[in-house]
């Protein structure tokens, strides 16, 4: 195995930025303020956002939400713009729909995973129910393969509000290939009735996390304590304990996973004890570290090691 660099990320910038020239790391963190109120005109329905469930250089998952169930979920896409003409797109793909139990208002989340994509390629798409599609054509770019350099942004402890909007705009202005949120995304505390807080945050992301060429920027989320409803027993399914983390953002249905970013870096997302105990991740983590041939290994987790923030005798430390 080649010599690798391992960096710890928990909402602080890398101290070794001089040797980390391939990546831009930008802090979103601590934008949340508990007394902020919903902004007027929040709108998340019928607007797409991107997650990764597979290899970032050959796949992407397109997600959107509606207040009505769809009989069919479909994306039309291709490597050339088609200005929304359904017959001009090279490919189509079907997806799945789901809802979150107990939502105060009707809400369905639809997801379509595109596979077999070409690395470092722009794709154009529309989405809908197979008959009616979005009026706007959207665009994204796959990650490069091999040792293609890239830029990304990372932070955490966000929540909605004016400061978050400023930070998201600043991050997007760097034209990152993707953005990582290291937990405490919305601050809804896993409580379904707080879904408007999630909408406020997602509205900001949908408005502003777009690069200079109009491409949507994929998101990668680690789980934090404010994604989890502490009133729901640990014996309940994970999807019930953290309904929005799992319901809104498809990432393979797990709170710990890896994504290889070409041959340059392996992104390792960890669960710092919020849903999955630390002990259950140890052997998996060892295998991910030992099998990686990537130059960089980038672990992302929410609760930092002592003495960064938590007390030495605390449960999470």
Domain CATH number, residue 107: 2.60.40.380
Rg (CA), the chain: 19
Examine the pLDDT at 261 and tell me if it is beyond 90.
yes
Task: Identify the pLDDT of residue 49.
Answer: 98
pLDDT in the model for residue 92: 98
In a domain, 312, yes or no: no
Q: In this structure, is residue 212 part of a structural domain? A: yes
Range(s) of the domain holding residue 73? 5-300
Q: Is the pLDDT of residue 253 over 80?
A: yes
How does the average pLDDT of the chain come out, rounded?
Answer: 88
Q: Which comes out higher in pLDDT, residue 311 or 111? A: 111
Tell me the pTM: 0.88
* Domain annotation covers residue 37: yes
| pLDDT band, very low/low/confident/very high, at 7 (cuts 50, 70, 90) | very low
Cβ distance 63 to 49 under 8 Å?
Answer: yes
Sheet with 122-128, side-by-side order of all strands: 91-94, 74-78, 122-128, 138-141
pLDDT at 19 over 50: no
Which residues, at least 6 apart from 25, have a Cβ–Cβ distance to it below 8 Å? 9, 13, 14, 17, 152, 153, 154
- 5 pLDDT more than 60: no
- Domain assignment of residue 108, yes or no: yes
- Overall domain count for the chain: 1
The percent of residues above 70 in pLDDT, for the chain, comes to: 84
Is residue 94's pLDDT more than 80?
A: yes
Strands laid side by side in the 60-66 sheet: 49-51, 60-66, 108-114, 96-98
Residue 315 lies in a domain: no
Is 306 within a domain? Answer: no
pLDDT at 306: 62
Model confidence at 131: pLDDT above 70: yes
Check residue 16 and give its pLDDT.
35
Please write the tens of the pLDDT for every residue from 134-189: 999 999 999 999 999 999 999 999 999 999 999 999 999 999 999 999 999 999 99
Residue 112 lies in a domain: yes
pLDDT category of residue 313 using cuts at 50, 70 and 90: confident
Report pLDDT for 25. Answer: 43
Could you report the per-residue pLDDT of 293-311, keeping only the tens digit for each? 889 999 999 988 766 666 7
Asked if residue 222 is part of any domain, the answer here is yes
**What pLDDT, in 10s, does the model give residues 203-245?**
999 999 999 999 999 999 999 999 999 999 999 999 999 999 9
- DSSP assignment string, 191-230: -GGGHHHHHHHHHHHHHH-B-TTS-B--EEE---GGGS-T
Task: Give the whole-angstrom CA distance, residue 130 versus residue 139.
Answer: 19
């Amino acid at each position: 195995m080649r010599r690798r660099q391992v960096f710890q990320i928990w909402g602080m910038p890398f101290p070794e930025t001089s040797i980390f020239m391939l990546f831009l790391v930008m802090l979103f963190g601590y934008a949340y303020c508990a007394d902020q109120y919903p902004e007027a005109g929040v709108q998340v329905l019928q607007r797409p956002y991107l997650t990764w469930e597979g290899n970032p250089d050959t796949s992407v998952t397109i997600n959107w939400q509606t207040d009505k169930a769809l009989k069919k979920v479909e994306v039309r896409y291709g490597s050339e713009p088609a200005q929304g003409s359904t017959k001009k797109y090279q490919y189509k793909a079907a997806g799945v729909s789901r809802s979150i139990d107990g939502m105060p208002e009707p809400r369905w989340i639809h997801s379509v995973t595109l596979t077999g994509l070409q690395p470092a390629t722009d794709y154009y798409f529309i989405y809908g129910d197979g008959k009616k599609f979005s009026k706007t054509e959207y665009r994204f770019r796959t990650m490069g393969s091999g040792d293609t350099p890239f830029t990304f942004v990372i932070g955490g402890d966000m929540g909605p509000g004016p400061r978050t909007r400023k930070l998201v705009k600043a991050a997007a202005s760097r034209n990152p290939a993707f953005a990582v949120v290291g937990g405490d995304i919305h601050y809804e505390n896993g409580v379904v009735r707080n879904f408007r807080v999630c909408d406020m945050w997602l509205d900001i992301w949908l408005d502003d996390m777009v690069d200079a060429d109009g491409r949507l920027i994929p998101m990668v989320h680690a789980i934090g304590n404010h994604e989890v409803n502490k009133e729901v027993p640990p014996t309940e399914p994970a999807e019930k304990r953290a309904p929005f983390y799992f319901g809104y953002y498809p990432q393979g249905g797990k709170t710990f996973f890896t994504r290889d970013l070409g041959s340059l870096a392996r992104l390792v997302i960890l669960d710092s004890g919020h849903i999955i105990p630390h002990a259950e991740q140890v052997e998996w983590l060892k295998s991910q570290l030992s099998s990686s041939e990537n130059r960089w290994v980038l672990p992302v987790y929410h609760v930092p090691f002592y003495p960064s923030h938590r007390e030495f005798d605390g449960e999470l430390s």
